[in-house]
Chain A
Amino acid sequence: MSEDWPLFEVFIRSRAGLEHKHVGSLHAADARMAIEHARDVYTRRQEGVSIWVVPSAQIIASDPAEAESLFEPARDKVYRHPTFYAIPEEVKNL
């Protein structure tokens, strides 16, 4: 039965102020059911305070076959990493 339902991607915000993170996917007949399923499948252990669901078909992904041309050119450009700065001790997250 669930195989007949479209796939949705699920994003959960774990705490107020944090971003929604992708946690997995599920099948549901429509958006309302997808939210309910996401609540039942992915927030059973208090993982979140907010849910987004997105039809998987709506996600446009990069082509793995193009990975070389998309990502390898960045490999030899280490100067793009801000690793040459001294970070003050008080800064916990950067």
Chain B
Amino acid sequence: MSGSATEPRDAVLEAARLRYVLRLADTSLVLGQQLGAWVGHAPALEEELGLANLALDLIGQARLLLSYAGELEGRGRDEDQLAFLRDAPEFANLALAEQPNGDFAQTIVRQWLLDGWQLEIYQGLGDSCDPRLAAIAAKALKETRYHHRFSSGWLIRLGDGTEESRRRTQRSLDDLWRFTDEFFAPDEVDERVSAAGIAPPLSLQAPAWSARVDEALAAATLRRPPAQPYPWHGKRGVHTEHLSHLLGEMQHLQRTYPGARW
């Protein structure tokens, strides 16, 4: 936040709007980049195409959102510059998105948790007073409904599957659960954009997400881990070490050969 008491209120709101759009954009971008790494390694050819399709949807969302962020920022940075030339502390993705792929169960649990979050956010943005954001969310919502169908289907198969798949899925859930703490915990940015009608209040969205989680966990015969307070918050730019490694790979080409195209 660049806001200070002496700035006019509009500038503070615009800074919050930019920050909010970057949170959505970076979460999609980082998650899409992660899923791309499954290509060539997924347990079945059909799943590999499925994960790659999710990745492409997410990167498509990131492109629209980053382009908008670049315009809001007004410093002449386009989607590529924002994606490839920012350092980790400038990224505003939820920390869950940057957690490693791990095994297939971990990828599915991470996906399912974030799909549920995106489902609520994109649904809520349908009523946004920001027409650009509402239009991007409407497109993304159709994609996200399929993503959630895909990931919750797998969550249930794995949880209610074999002894081994159940053990791995529960372990991933226990490991990753703490990263959901920031999903619906509003900070200054969230409060400003919801007060302005740009985004719905997170406190209204949390119960729907939570109910959806419980429904899938019951079908998957998995245990909901207890709430855990969590000190790092990706959306505020406080990341785990994994993000730097991911960006190192994702940004390598543009950093080494600036402006390279093909």
Contacts and interface: CB of A to CB of B under 8 A. Distances in A.
Interface of A: 1-2, 5, 26-29, 32-33, 36-37, 39-41, 44
Contacts of B47: 2, 37
B44 interface: yes
B101 interface: no
Sorting the interface of chain B by its residue count into under 10, 10 to 19, 20 to 34 or 35 or more gives 10 to 19
A16 B129 CA distance: 36
A40 B53 CA distance: 7
25 contacts: A1-B43, A1-B44, A2-B43, A2-B45, A2-B46, A2-B47, A27-B44, A27-B46, A29-B157, A32-B153, A33-B157, A36-B150, A36-B153, A37-B46, A37-B47, A37-B50, A39-B146, A40-B46, A40-B49, A40-B50, A40-B53, A41-B46, A41-B49, A44-B49, A44-B53
A44 B46 CA distance: 12
A52 B150 CA distance: 18
Contacts of B53: 40, 44
A16 B46 CA distance: 26
Contacts of A36: 50, 149-150, 153
A12 B146 CA distance: 19
Interface in B14-50: 43-47, 49-50
A81 B103 CA distance: 60
Nearest to B45: A2
A36 B46 CA distance: 9
A29 B157 CA distance: 10
A33 B153 contact: yes
Main secondary structure of the interface of B (DSSP, over half): helix
A5 to B, nearest CB: 8
Nearest to A37: B46
A34 to B, nearest CB: 9
Per CB-CB distance, the 5 closest pairs between chain A and chain B, nearest first, are: A2-B44, A37-B46, A1-B43, A40-B50, A40-B49
Given A27-B46, A40-B46, 12 more contacts: A1-B44, A2-B43, A2-B46, A2-B47, A27-B44, A32-B153, A33-B157, A37-B50, A39-B146, A41-B49, A44-B49, A44-B53
B24 to A, nearest CB: 24
Nearest to A39: B146
A28 B153 CA distance: 13
Contacts of A5: 44
Contacts of B150: 36
A1 B43 CA distance: 6
A36 B147 CA distance: 11
Interface string B149-179: 1100100010000000000000000000000
A36 B44 CA distance: 13
B188 to A, nearest CB: 40
Contacts of B46: 2, 26-28, 37, 40-41
B210 to A, nearest CB: 25
Contacts of B45: 2
A12 to B, nearest CB: 15
Contacts of A33: 153, 157
A44 B56 CA distance: 11
Nearest to B52: A40
Nearest to A29: B157
